[in-house]
Amino acid sequence: MRKKVTVVGAGNVGASCALWLAAKEIADIVVVDIVEGVPQGKGLDLLQSGPVEGFDCQITGANDYAPTENSDVVVITAGFPRKPGMSRDDLLMANYDIVKNATEQVAKHSPNAILIIVTNPLDAMCWTAKHVSGFPRNRVIGMAGILDTARYRTFLATELGVSVESIQALVLGGHGDTMVPLIRLTSVSGIPLTELLPKERIDAIVDRTRNGGAEIVKYLKTGSAYYAPAASAIEMVESILKDKKKVLPCAAYLEGEYGYNGLFVGVPVKLGASGIEKIYEVQLTSEEKAMLDKSAAAVQDLITVIQQKTAN
Ligand code: APR
C-alpha cells in the first residue's frame, strides 16, 4: 500500500509541495485548503501531469479533513505569507489561529502522523502545532534549516563557480534574521571554506543568507518564496517515508539539548521512519553559542507573545 501525505494549504508552497511529492512518486497526496475549488482544481491538474511525467500517485483536493484520514505525514503550509517590509514575526497571531485550527483537525484524523510545519513564523508555529496536537517531539518537525542551508550553499557555489552538491554546510538557529550559519563547519568537498574565500566575502554571503527570504519577498511583492521551501519540506518527507535517516538541519523541540528547554530551535537531526530519531549536539565555540542564544531568545519572545495573547 502506498504511503499517504496530506498537504494543508493549496497556495504557492502547498501546491509546490504536492508537485515535488508527485514528481518523486513519494506517496498518495491529499491537499486541503479553505478556499472552495482550489485544492480540487490544482489536485486534478497535477494528477493529469502523471501520464506525461510517469507517476502513479492518487491526488485528492478537499475542503475538509475526512479524506486525510490516517495520513503518514502531514505538511502544514496554510497561512499568510509575508509582503515587502514585513518580518516573519508580523504574521504571528494570524497564522497562529490557522495553524491551531489545522493541527486540531490533523490530530483528530491522523493521530499517528508526523507533522512537518512550514508556516511562518516557523519556530513559533512548530511550538503551536506541538502544543495543540500533544504529539511527542519526534513527530513535530519544522522546515527551516534545510532552506536556509540551501540558500547559503547556492550563494557559495555561485561565488566559487562549483557545483552546489560540493558545498557542505549547516545553518542552525531560528528561521529569521538571527539564524546561525556555521562558517567553521562549511566545506567544499572537505576543503574548509575559510581556505577558499576571504573573510569579507564569507561575511557578505552569510548576510545575504540571513536575508535570503526577504530578498525574494522584495522581488515578488505579493508573497514569499515557495519553490525552495517546498523542495526542502519534501526532502524531509522523503527521508522519513523512505527511512533514509538523512542528517538535516530542522526545527526540533529541545529538552535540554544546547541548554534550551521547551523551545523549537534549528539543529541537526536524523530523519527516519519515526520522524526525528536523533538530535545531534554540535560542539560550538563561545561565539557561535552566543549567536544561537540570541536566536533562541528571539524564538522565546514569540512564544511569550502567544502565551500572553491566548491566556484567559
Ligand atoms: N486551512 C487551510 N488552508 C488555509 C487556511 C486554513 N485555515 N487558511 C488559509 N489557508 C490557505 C489559503 O487559502 C492559501 O491557499 O493557505 C494558503 C496559503 O497560500 P499562499 O497565500 O500562496 O502562501 P504561501 O506562499 O503558500 O505561504 C504559506 O508558508 O513559507 C510559509 O511564510 C509562508 O506562512 C506562509 C506559508
Q: Give 125-148 pLDDT, tens digit per residue.
A: 999 999 999 999 999 999 999 999
- Using the atom order of ligand 1, give the atom closest to the CA of residue 95: 34
Q: Give distance in angstroms: CA of 46 to centre of ligand 1.
A: 18
Residue 175 annotated in active site: yes
Is residue 176, in this structure, part of any structural domain at all? no
Name the closest-CA residue to atom 33, ligand 1.
81
- pLDDT band, residue 49 (cuts 50/70/90): very high
Q: Give 242-296 pLDDT, tens digit per residue.
A: 999 999 999 999 999 999 999 999 999 999 999 999 999 999 999 999 999 999 9
Is residue 153, in this structure, part of any structural domain at all? no
- The Cα 171–Cα 144 span in angstroms is 9
Mean pLDDT, residues 177-187 taken together: 94
- Distance from CA of residue 221 to its chain's centroid? 22
Is residue 99, in this structure, part of any structural domain at all? yes
Is residue 74, in this structure, part of any structural domain at all? yes
Cis omega (within 30 of 0) on the bond before 121? yes
Specify the amino acid at residue 85. G
Ligand 1 mutation pick, 68, 77, 86, 175, max ligand atoms within 8 A of CB? 77
For residue 174, give every residue at least 6 positions away whose Cβ sits within 8 Å of its Cβ, in sequence order, or none.
Answer: 122, 123, 144, 251, 265, 266, 295, 296, 298, 299
**Is it the case that residue 213 has pLDDT exceeding 90?**
yes
Q: Which domain holds residue 116?
A: 4-142
**How many domains is the chain partitioned into structurally?**
1
pLDDT > 70: percent of the chain? 100
Residue 258 and residue 292 in contact, taking contact as beta carbons nearer than 8 Å: yes
Residue 177 and residue 213 in contact, taking contact as beta carbons nearer than 8 Å: no
Instruction: Say yes or no: CB of residue 232 within 6 Å of ligand 1.
Output: no
Is residue 229, in this structure, part of any structural domain at all? no
Q: Give 66-75 pLDDT, tens digit per residue.
A: 999 999 999 9
Is residue 239, in this structure, part of any structural domain at all? no
Q: Give distance in angstroms: CA of 80 to centre of ligand 1.
A: 5
Which position has the grid cell 500572553? Answer: 308
pTM for this model (two decimals): 0.97
Instruction: Say yes or no: CB of residue 39 within 6 Å of ligand 1.
Output: no
pLDDT of residue 244: 98
Instruction: Say yes or no: CB of residue 144 within 6 Å of ligand 1.
Output: no
pLDDT of residue 96: 97
For residue 43, give every residue at least 6 positions away whose Cβ sits within 8 Å of its Cβ, in sequence order, or none.
Answer: 10, 18, 29, 31, 59, 60, 61
Mean pLDDT, residues 33-54 taken together: 98
Residue 299 and residue 263 in contact, taking contact as beta carbons nearer than 8 Å: yes
pLDDT of residue 311: 87
pLDDT of residue 308: 92
Q: Give distance in angstroms: CA of 116 to centre of ligand 1.
A: 14
Is residue 164, in this structure, part of any structural domain at all? no
Q: Give distance in angstroms: CA of 130 to centre of ligand 1.
A: 19
Q: What cell numbers appear for 212 in the block?
A: 535570503
- pLDDT band, residue 82 (cuts 50/70/90): confident
- Using the atom order of ligand 1, give the atom closest to the CA of residue 224: 25
> Domain holding 70: CATH number?
3.40.50.720
Is residue 298, in this structure, part of any structural domain at all? no
**Is it the case that residue 312 has pLDDT exceeding 80?**
no
Q: Give distance in angstroms: CA of 222 to centre of ligand 1.
A: 13
Q: State the catalytic residue, choosing from 14, 175, 230, 302.
A: 175
